Amino acid sequence: MNYHPTAYKKMQPGHSIIQKIYSLSPNTASCSRRACFVGICVCLIFYYLAPYFFRQVFSGFSYKSAVHLCTTRHLAPHYLSAIEFDASINHLPINEKDGEVPQLPFVGNGKLASLVKYEQEDSGLYLFYDTLFTNENKKEEKEHKLLRLPYDPLLRPEHVTGSHHKEEVSVVNFRNGIVEHLSCYSSSHGPLFLNHTVIAHRSRPNVLLQRLEGRIDGKSGSEDVYIHQQTINHNSVFK
């Protein structure tokens, strides 16, 4: 920019601003016009993209909080049982901040048993059996042992439409021996709640029951859930 040093010296108090504008105008006109144009473009882009951007960000937040709310709501009846030591609640991963004590979600009736963990290698079917052994007093004693079968009947439901938010909790009910694997998934219809219960029958000890119930909280709609079940392994006793 070409300021005339003499122009400033001659300035009168009342004329100063007008003088300045005159002195700026010829050289900076194209520059400020360009700045104006860029400014308008930025405003337009912001105007059109901002709602999309905020919708993305806030829907992320709202899906996450909806999933969290779903878990909290369905767990509500269990919180009291947990306080009275009738149940143990474990978030996956474990919520150590709130003083959760890790509990193995193991369900069994003395004949057969199962570990209700979707991600774990050692989940599967277990059989109890008795062996005789002689103790240090040379007396025969019976020992109750567990044998892991190379067969895993545990169902593993997955939400196929790819929900980005998911919460899983396992609840061991000490009174009835039922293990619940509860999961909440985000979905466009509202949070999807899955209740997977595993029961080792007490009076029919060779029966292991699994019950899977799904529902969408709030709005109605339907979602596809994929149920994965490992096929019988080649080295299985059930071959």
Q: Which residues bind ligand NAG (CB under 6 A)?
A: 74, 180, 182, 195, 197, 211, 213
- C-alpha distances in Å from residue 112, one per residue of 127, 145, 173, 228: 4, 11, 18, 22
ω into residue 205 within 30 of 0, thus cis? no
Shortest distance, position 168 Cβ to ligand NAG, whole Å: 13
Residue 24: how many CB atoms within 10 A of its CB? 15
Task: Name every residue whose Cβ is closer than 8 Å to that of residue 40 and which is 6 or more positions away in sequence.
Answer: none
What is the Cβ-side half-sphere exposure of residue 208, based on CA atoms within 13 angstroms?
21
Q: Which residue's CB is nearer to ligand NAG, number 130 or number 213?
A: 213
| Closest C-alpha to 116, from 106, 125, 128 | 106
Residue 206's identity, in one-letter code, is N
Shortest distance, position 211 Cβ to ligand NAG, whole Å: 6
Shortest distance, position 195 Cβ to ligand NAG, whole Å: 4
Q: Which residue's CB is nearer to ligand NAG, number 164 or number 211?
A: 211
To which residue do tokens 């029966």 refer? 207
Shortest distance, position 120 Cβ to ligand NAG, whole Å: 21
Q: Which residue's CB is nearer to ligand NAG, number 27 or number 72?
A: 72
Q: Which letter, b or e, does each residue of 115-143 get, where b requires 16 or more Cβ atoms within 10 Å of its Cβ?
A: bbbbeeeebbbbeeeeeeeeeeeeeeeee
| Closest C-alpha to 198, from 127, 116, 117, 125 | 116
Task: Name every residue whose Cβ is closer than 8 Å to that of residue 154 and which is 6 or more positions away in sequence.
Answer: 114, 115, 116, 118, 123, 124, 198, 210, 229, 230
Q: Which residue's CB is nearer to ligand NAG, number 67 or number 182?
A: 182
Q: Which residue's Cβ has the minimum distance to ligand NAG?
A: 195
Q: Which residue's CB is nearer to ligand NAG, number 23 or number 195?
A: 195
Shortest distance, position 90 Cβ to ligand NAG, whole Å: 14
Shortest distance, position 105 Cβ to ligand NAG, whole Å: 14
Q: Which residue's CB is nearer to ligand NAG, number 125 or number 198?
A: 198
How far is Cα 70 from Cα 182, in angstroms, rounded to an integer? 10
Shortest distance, position 170 Cβ to ligand NAG, whole Å: 11
Q: Which residue's CB is nearer to ligand NAG, number 106 or number 193?
A: 193
